[in-house]
Structure 1
């Protein structure tokens, strides 16, 4: 049986805008984690699972501890997100406010701790940052998946890219949803580019920017116009 899909509290256009903002935030934080925290992903777990496979290869050069921390943190985040979904699904706007609000607060706390030097991302303090960021984006992914928009999981692009190829005119398809799919890819790419550029200077502001972007998505879900009722 398929999982239940939650109806967005806002129109399709605003839902897409909010999910694209969350996708941009993913690009930001994965740029930080890969470039500054030891070649580990905090939002995209596929890469970390591959890194964990390197555990069995001596001297692979991969920070396996960071990969384990990210994987477990992300899993904890999905559990938290699942609890929010099941306990607050009677009011979707409230649920998304709590879920995304939790992510925003966590990101802001991490940015403050990193910016003030409490967490030094050059030593074991980076593991706290990795864990916290992974929890935040595990929670985000748990929220986004409830809408059932395959292209907009906000953290994974594999199926989006598959869709571009399979449904393309070159493959005999109609090019359906092509603009959305290219938009999702470009959005994450742009987030990664901005995150990578900012990381050359400092890490904390990138995390702060991610919090602001997710906060904007929260405001859209909280106050955006509802989809018009179908007659």
Structure 2
């Protein structure tokens, strides 16, 4: 069974936290696509598509990095499920803080390893694959944790259904109450990707990953101060 968050937290601080986490998705994907050889480590839809391109022999795409990203993401999601079940009936903040600490730690280790990578040559290969695995695991952990929170329109990693909701709800006479949240999710990932790309191009591969980890941990620690995060969550 997956835990459900306290309703008070869902209506107040939690959506703002998830918008900040959405921005880190853009940072991580900027680092992976632009710095690790055209592979997604946060967005598995894109990664499966890239894997298909690679399997067909399309120049510029490789099977092994895409597979490493996919399997690392799956293992991370599995780990998040176990972490969630271990925190049933415990305060919401404890569960989310543990998830944030693990995710930030993985991103920072990946950042440290990435300082050894020659982006143009995609070498050394072991360093490239290590960063792919670490960031893929971190984002799998994040995605499964957010899925367990069940906050509508804020998955932090996928926007297809969010954009669909924006467009579909425009057919009504009144603006959807979820429009601001949906638009915020799209804008957050866009800004994260733009900032991540700029940092990678002008400073280095490690910087977007360091920043992503700092936002994940810092935003979660600040959000956890909300009294609603002290309520136990139910299975």
- Note whether the superposition's TM-score is higher than 0.5: yes
Deviation at 1:179, TM superposition (A): 1.1
Deviation at 1:10, TM superposition (A): 2.9
Q: Distance in 2 between matches of 1:180 and 1:20?
A: 8
Residues 15-94 of structure 1 aligned to structure 2 (within 5 Å): 15-91=14-90, 92-94=92-94
Structure 1 match to 2:192: 191
Structure 2 match to 1:179: 180
- How many residue pairs end up in the alignment? 223
1:27-66 superposed Cα distances (whole Å, 9 cap, x missing partner):
0010011111111110000011112223442345312211
Q: Is the CA contact (8 Å cut-off) linking 1:77 and 1:138 kept in structure 2?
A: yes
1:100-153 superposed Cα distances (whole Å, 9 cap, x missing partner):
1111111122222323x3x55522111110110010010011111112123111
Deviation at 1:174, TM superposition (A): 3.0
Deviation at 1:75, TM superposition (A): 0.5
| Deviates most, 185-194 or 47-56 | 47-56
Deviation at 1:221, TM superposition (A): 3.9
| Deviates most, 18-27 or 86-95 | 86-95
Q: Distance in 1 between matches of 2:22 and 2:113?
A: 24
Q: Distance in 2 between matches of 1:174 and 1:5?
A: 30
Q: Is the CA contact (8 Å cut-off) linking 2:25 and 2:156 kept in structure 1?
A: yes
Pairwise CA RMSD: 2.1
Q: With structure 2 as the length reference, what TM-score do the two structures score?
A: 0.87
Structure 2: runs of 5 or more not aligned: none
Q: Is the CA contact (8 Å cut-off) linking 2:22 and 2:185 kept in structure 1?
A: yes
Q: Is the CA contact (8 Å cut-off) linking 1:70 and 1:131 kept in structure 2?
A: yes
Alignment partner of 1:104 is 2:100? no
The runs of at least 4 aligned residues of structure 1 exceeding 6 Å deviation read none
Structure 1 match to 2:211: 209
Q: Is the CA contact (8 Å cut-off) linking 1:111 and 1:208 kept in structure 2?
A: yes
Deviation at 1:173, TM superposition (A): 5.3
Q: Distance in 1 between matches of 2:54 and 2:67?
A: 10
Structure 1 match to 2:136: 134
Q: Distance in 1 between matches of 2:93 and 2:225?
A: 8
Q: Is the CA contact (8 Å cut-off) linking 2:4 and 2:148 kept in structure 1?
A: yes
Q: Distance in 2 between matches of 1:208 and 1:132?
A: 13
Deviation at 1:172, TM superposition (A): 2.5
Structure 1: runs of 5 or more not aligned: none
Deviation at 1:4, TM superposition (A): 6.1
Distance 1:166 1:83, change over 3 A: same
Q: Is the CA contact (8 Å cut-off) linking 1:28 and 1:196 kept in structure 2?
A: yes
Q: With structure 1 as the length reference, what TM-score do the two structures score?
A: 0.89
Q: Is the CA contact (8 Å cut-off) linking 1:20 and 1:154 kept in structure 2?
A: yes
Deviation at 1:213, TM superposition (A): 0.5
Q: Is the CA contact (8 Å cut-off) linking 2:104 and 2:214 kept in structure 1?
A: yes
